[in-house]
Amino acid sequence: MRTIIVDDEKLSRSVLKLLLEKHCPAVNIVAVCADGISALEAIEKYQPDLLFLDIEMPGLNGFDVLKACKDASFSIIVTTSYDHYALDAIRHNALDYLLKPIIRDDLVDAVDKAMARRQQKVQPGSKSDTSILEVLHQHLYPGERLALPSPEGLRMLLVKDILYCVADGETTLVHLVNATEPSLVCRSLKEVEGQLKNKGFFRVHHSYVVNLNYMDRYIKGDGGDIIMSDGSCIPVSRHRKQEFMDRIEKL
């Protein structure tokens, strides 16, 4: 599929391009654009099958681009850091809606949907195109929640919003995206780790479990350190280092 990536953030463009090249062999990236104007030019030139489109961009934003090519036959996958654009994306016949940082399995699933639509020759927004309803369902029910006991009662936490967890004696401090203070839960880190198993988390240290989707970079050292997307520095223990390195190579 001829594919165009549109995002004003250089890192986001690079990460998406790398993920597509590594995990989506059906994708042929014909253009990578940093703004809406160059995106429209690339769409006119290459007549893509698939468009990855960021929303918040200077000048023409993502929805401006979609309005300019509203009758286009290509599939649109919205990529953004903000979940409040979901309904607008659906109104513009988006095939899928990926929140940054983009998870590999979600990306592969979205590309598979685009392939299926192309092979079936389904027009975006048609009655037989059920992917729009799927996207709506995903964002009305936006992910798995954990019910964790707190000193006040129960805390309902979205798994996708958990940055990392820190042992605090027999309790755990759960650090969340866009939260100024961690949430205290009355469970040991080992118990919390068990509830997060197979959800993209890894215990890098006896005191830390991290969400690998929010890892910004790794700094070499005896065990090394992880810098998270919020700037937090998390140590990696020596005896977990090799297992950690093996795990991130699979991301």
Tokens representing 114?
């685009």
How far is 148 from 163, CA to CA, in rounded Å?
A: 16
- pLDDT for position 141: 42
Contact (Cβ atoms closer than 8 angstroms) between residue 136 and residue 169: no
How far is 100 from 86, CA to CA, in rounded Å?
A: 13
Q: With a cut of 90, say whether residue 26 has pLDDT above it.
A: yes
**What's the mean pLDDT in 138-161?**
76
Of the given ranges (81-85, 154-158, 197-201), which has the lowest mean pLDDT? 81-85
Which CATH number is 143-249 given? Answer: 2.40.50.1020
Q: With a cut of 70, say whether residue 86 has pLDDT above it.
A: no
Of the segments 58-62, 139-143, 216-220, which one has the largest average pLDDT value?
Answer: 216-220
Q: With a cut of 90, say whether residue 93 has pLDDT above it.
A: no
Q: With a cut of 80, say whether residue 135 has pLDDT above it.
A: no
Under DSSP, is residue 10 helix (H, G, I), strand (E, B) or coil? Answer: helix
Domain boundaries, the chain: 2-137, 143-249
Of the segments 58-62, 152-156, 203-207, which one has the largest average pLDDT value?
Answer: 203-207
Class (C level, CATH) for 2-137: alpha beta
